[in-house]
Structure formats: structure tokens, C-alpha cells
């Protein structure tokens, strides 16, 4: 990949799919996880702010910015649960990576597929530090667009090879089982969330309804389980009964955002939580007892998107799976932007 003054590498949906398949889905997830873990380890170097959200009756549109002082990245993302009923994606996204030194964008990329990959990779990074050792069985409750990515990320990083699946829509579970066939995962279609959790060492909840929901009740959660709560990611949207939270050691990405959007919005503002970055960097303990219930209250944070964009940009150098986008004006003399417009007019007139 060559950098020029007036073009920006653009990764379309088609090229993102080609990139993932060329690298290999599990390899992609594993490599992406390494970038995320690297950035979690240097968390203090980043600008951090809760995402800027515009809420409506139907959903939310958000901007998620961050910078490490050398690169700047942001993601535009929506969350509209009703979209599925209209044949649209619940979540769509795109992102930009830019050079802090001159402000020029260095990459524009689709992030609908990439967000699913980075969310799953982040879940697996958290479980690497928090889940019971040698855990091999996961309950996966909510079998929509994110489910397969979660299952494969846990297989790639932790060796999880047994997944107990449940969704209130049985066709979603059948879809998930069909898509994961032949990938080395033993799958069970559970009749209920309770049945799915039975015998699982890891429980992932990834449902989409924008409401205070109770996907897991306190009596369903025994000692020693790691919970990966992914679906609750905005005010008024949760998945766990608050009694579970009071029993668990809770780990979060960025407390000022998670207290607004995560499961812990159900608790007092001073309820103790641990930042996952402190665990990754060795400043805090993850799982401290085999009987402990650990909870990763995942809402998604801008640094994870930054890691994903950084990873994709590095992969483009070897794959060429991008298009040069004519995004930046490049006049012959930087102050003569109007002259650039006049020269275009002259070319158009000469071509008539």
C-alpha cells in the first residue's frame, strides 16, 4: 500500500469479506485480538471519552473517537433493533483512521462486519483473563448477527469447542448451527436459556431488544461461571438480573461509559468495578478464585475500534484489498483551492 497526497485507501464491504476469508476467520480473530490486547496494555496513552450518542424512539446513532497521540480514529455506528423486522441490519458502521501529525485520513473502512469481529475478539480477550482455566463449554444466548463471530473467537483464543445455543426465535438458532457446521464446534440447540446455561463454564448473552430484559436470572448462575454480557449497550437496555451483578466481580472497558450503558446502570454509581485494561496490563487481578463469578460488562469502546482499524490497515499492505478513494483536495498550491476548481472547469469545457 502506497500513501499519496490525494487518495485514501477505502475498504468496502466486499473487500472486507475478501480480507477476512484470505486471512482465515479464526486467524483474523486471533490476530485482531492481539492488537486489541496490545492497545488495552497501553490504555493510559489514549484519549478517552464516552461515545457521543443521539437517541431516538427507534434506536441510537453514535460517534466513537479516540487517539493515541500518533493516530486518530473514530467510528460511526447505529443501533436500531426494529431494523431486523424491515430486512435491515440492527447495527451498521464505518470508520476512519487518520494521521495526528497532519490530520489527513489514512483509511476509510466499512465497520459493520469489522465491528462484529472486534466485538467477538474483545470478548475473547476478556475471557482469556477472566474465564475458568481450560473452559471448553459456552452457552450462547441470542443467536443473531453476532453469534457466530462470538463462537469462533472463543474457539480461536480459548479452545471452546462445545456451544449450547438458545434464542427466542428458533430459526435464529438453526441459522447459527448451519453456519458453524464443520468448524470443529459441537453444538446443542437448547430449548431455554436455563437449559443452555446448564453445564456451561462461560455464558455469553448477546440479545438485541432495546429494553430492560432479564435473560439470566440469579438462580441460573452458579459458582465459577464467567459471564460475557454483550447485548446491553445503551441506557435502558440490559440482560442480567441485578442480583447477579451483586454476586459477581465486574470488569468493564471504561467506567464512565459503562455506568451509563452497561449492566451496571442497574447498580449504585459507586458500585466497585475493575477496568479490564488494568488486568491486561498486570495492574489488577482477574479471576482470583475458582468459585468466583466473573462478569465482563461489555458495551464496546472506541479503542477497540481503533485497534481494528489499525489491524486492517496493516493487513492491506500485503493483500491489496482496497480501493484508492479520491477524498482529499490536492491543489497545485495549498492556498489556491479556488484555482483547483477553475482548472476543473477548464478541463470540462475542453472536453465538450
Model confidence pLDDT, tens digit, residues 1-11: 655 568 999 99
Q: What's the pLDDT at 208?
A: 67
Q: What's the pLDDT at 4?
A: 56
Segment 62-80 shows an average pLDDT of: 96
146-170 pLDDT, tens digit per residue, is 999 999 999 999 999 999 999 999 9
Q: What's the pLDDT at 213?
A: 77
pLDDT at 39 over 90: yes
Q: Is residue 249 part of a domain?
A: yes
- 232 band by pLDDT with thresholds 50, 70 and 90: confident
Residues spanned by the domain of 219: 123-299
Distance CA 210, CA 222 (A): 27
Instruction: Name the residues annotated as catalytic.
Output: 233
| Same domain? 255 vs 330 | no
Segment 87-98 shows an average pLDDT of: 93
pLDDT over 90 percentage in the chain: 86
| Same domain? 68 vs 190 | no
| Same domain? 98 vs 15 | yes
Q: What's the pLDDT at 1?
A: 62
| Same domain? 280 vs 152 | yes
Distance CA 49, CA 305 (A): 14
Q: Is residue 156 part of a domain?
A: yes
| Same domain? 288 vs 316 | no
Strands (E), 86-133: 93-99, 105-110
Contact 210, 261 (CB under 8 A): no
| Same domain? 312 vs 295 | no
Closest CA to 123 of 271, 2, 300, 259: 300
Distance CA 122, CA 34 (A): 10
Domain count, the chain: 2
Closest CA to 128 of 235, 280, 352: 280
| Same domain? 139 vs 196 | yes
| Same domain? 50 vs 131 | no
Listed in sequence order, the residues at least 6 apart from 199 whose beta carbon sits closer than 8 Å to its beta carbon are 137, 164
Q: What's the pLDDT at 2?
A: 53
Amino acid at each position: 500500500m502506497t500513501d499519496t497526497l490525494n487518495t485514501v485507501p477505502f475498504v468496502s464491504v466486499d473487500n472486507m469479506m475478501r480480507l477476512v476469508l484470505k486471512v482465515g476467520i479464526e486467524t483474523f480473530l486471533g490476530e485482531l485480538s492481539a492488537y486489541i490486547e496490545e492497545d488495552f496494555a497501553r490504555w493510559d496513552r489514549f484519549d478517552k471519552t464516552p461515545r457521543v450518542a443521539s437517541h431516538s424512539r427507534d434506536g441510537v446513532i453514535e460517534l466513537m473517537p479516540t487517539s493515541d497521540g500518533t493516530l486518530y480514529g473514530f467510528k460511526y455506528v447505529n443501533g436500531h433493533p426494529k431494523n431486523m423486522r424491515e430486512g435491515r441490519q440492527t447495527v451498521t458502521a464505518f470508520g476512519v483512521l487518520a494521521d495526528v501529525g497532519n490530520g489527513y485520513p489514512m483509511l476509510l473502512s466499512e465497520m459493520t462486519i469489522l465491528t462484529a469481529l472486534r466485538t467477538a475478539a474483545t470478548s475473547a480477550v476478556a475471557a482469556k483473563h477472566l474465564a475458568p482455566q481450560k473452559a471448553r463449554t459456552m452457552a450462547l444466548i441470542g443467536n443473531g448477527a453476532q453469534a457466530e463471530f462470538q463462537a469462533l473467537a472463543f474457539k480461536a483464543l480459548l479452545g471452546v469447542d462445545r456451544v449450547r445455543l438458545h434464542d427466542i426465535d428458533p430459526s435464529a438458532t438453526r441459522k447459527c448451527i448451519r453456519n458453524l457446521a464443520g468448524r470443529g464446534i459441537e453444538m446443542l440447540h437448547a430449548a431455554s436459556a436455563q437449559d443452555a446455561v446448564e453445564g456451561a463454564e462461560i455464558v455469553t448473552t448477546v440479545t438485541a431488544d432495546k429494553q430492560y430484559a432479564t435473560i439470566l436470572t440469579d438462580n441460573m448462575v452458579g459458582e465459577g461461571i464467567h459471564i460475557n454480557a454483550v447485548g446491553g449497550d445503551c441506557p435502558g437496555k440490559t440482560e442480567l438480573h441485578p442480583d447477579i451483578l451483586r454476586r459477581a466481580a465486574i470488569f468493564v472497558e471504561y467506567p464512565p461509559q459503562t455506568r451509563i450503558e452497561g449492566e451496571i446502570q442497574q447498580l449504585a454509581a459507586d458500585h466497585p468495578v475493575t477496568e479490564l485494561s488494568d488486568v491486561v496490563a498486570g495492574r489488577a487481578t482477574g479471576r482470583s478464585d475458582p468459585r468466583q463469578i466473573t462478569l465482563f460488562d461489555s458495551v464496546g469502546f472506541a479503542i477497540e475500534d481503533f485497534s481494528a482499524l489499525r489491524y486492517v490497515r496493516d493487513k492491506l499492505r500485503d493483500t491489496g484489498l482496497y480501493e484508492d478513494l479520491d477524498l482529499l483536495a490536492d491543489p497545485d498550491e495549498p492556498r489556491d483551492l479556488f484555482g483547483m476548481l477553475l482548472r476543473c472547469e477548464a478541463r470540462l469545457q475542453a472536453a465538450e
